Amino acid sequence: MQVYKDNSESIGHTPLVKLNRVTGGNVYAKMESRNPSFSVKCRIGANMVWDAEKRGVLTEGKELVEPTSGNTGIALAFVAASRGYKLTLTMPSTMSLERRKLLKALGANVVLTEGPKGMKGAIAKAQEIVDSDPNKYIMLQQFDNPANPEIHEKTTGPEIWQDLDGNIDIFIAGVGTGGTITGVSRYLKKTKGKQVLSVAVEPTDSPVITQAKAGQELTPGPHKIQGIGAGFIPGNLDLEMVDTVEQVSNDDAMEMAHRLMREEGILAGISSGAAVIAAKRLAEKPENAGKNIVVILPSSAERYLSSPLFAGAFSEEDLAQ
């Protein structure tokens, strides 16, 4: 029996589950909602704190500040609580109510920023707080912190490799900070030398990765796929690791999230739906017949009960029963 010193050490070892009904082919979903605070961001939340402690920049009395679209904030909140740090999070007001409630429950201070400004607004506010007292506050900077892709290179990638005995052909991940696709791809391609096709998923309404790879001007836009599509190219996104990009619409992402719930019994968030849309497209191409496809499902549907994912799902009569 393994005993962990605190809850932050219990990250990882999430299962791979074959998708049997929403798509054909060999598509395996990595269920990151099985992490301790129920999303893929548990991995980076823990590792960024551990790394800051090791480097001596996070010490007793220091307070953490971080901009977040929700799941990284929840991950940092559970780690901060388990290790005794105060935490302030800045996030767009458009993020789901469930996320804000969870952050409060875990003891974090939440500062909401203007929704239309997206993550750029949250980042600017976090920097403003840190600049007000640099000796008191430390920002872990999930979009640029190398500890982010590092934990995926050390844990997520090896877990996938071990579970499939190295038989992986295509890897698919939605891109928020870029840490997941960068870290996993580095492990598969560089450490293991496997010729894996790495596929980034982004919103159709904010196709900045597609534009960046084509050398075009970036034209970010608002969208409803929480957790991906930050509207800029993060420092942690290694574009050399991205072989191709799939764009997914809001409606397609939400429709697939509902299908995953009804047909696979998987409580899938919106970005999970987007990632599986991409996986389905790849699986249906004739040249990919028989290939093993791994897709990251970042979080659970329970994070989105007040979001457009469940708009109109329940009538007042349903809720009154």
Tokens of 206: 């904010």
Dihedral (CA of 19, 296, 34, 230) sign: negative
Q: What is the CA radius of gyration of the chain?
A: 19
Instruction: Determine whether 299 is exposed, middle or buried from the number of CB atoms within 10 Å of its CB (0-12, 13-18, 19+).
Output: buried
Nearest CA-CA partner of 249 in 266, 225, 229: 225
- 194 included as an active-site residue: no
Q: How far apart are CA 232 and CA 54, in angstroms?
A: 30
115-127 b/e with 16+ CB inside 10 Å = b? eebbbbbbbebbb
The 8-class DSSP code of residue 303 comes to: G
Question: Does 90 appear as a known binding residue?
Answer: no
Binding residue per annotation — 177? yes
Q: Which of 37, 82, 96, 271 is catalytic?
A: 271
Contact 200, 209 (CB under 8 A): yes
Give the CA dihedral 126, 128, 134, 139, nearest 10 degrees: 20
* 229 labelled binding-site residue: no
Residue 71 among known ligand-binding residues: yes
Q: Which of 33, 39, 41, 299 is catalytic?
A: 41
Query: Taking the C-alpha atoms of 254, 256, 258 and 264 in order, what is their torsion angle to the nearest 10 degrees?
Result: -160
Residue 93 DSSP one-character state: T
Structural tokens at position 254? 């939400």
The single-letter DSSP state of residue 309 is G
75 membership: H or E segment, kind and range: helix 71-83
Concerning whether 69 is annotated as a catalytic residue, the answer is no
Please name the helix (run of DSSP H) or strand (run of DSSP E) that holds residue 272, with its range, or none: helix 270-283
Question: Coil, helix or strand for 92?
Answer: strand
**180 marked among binding-site residues:** yes
Q: Annotation-wise, does 56 bind a ligand?
A: no
Torsion region of 98: left, alpha or beta (phi above 0 gives left; psi -120 to 50 gives alpha): alpha
Does the annotation list 178 as a binding residue? yes
Half-sphere CA count of 12, side-chain side, radius 13 A: 19
Annotated binding site for pyridoxal 5'-phosphate: 71, 176-180, 271
Residues annotated as catalytic (active site), given as ranges? 41, 271
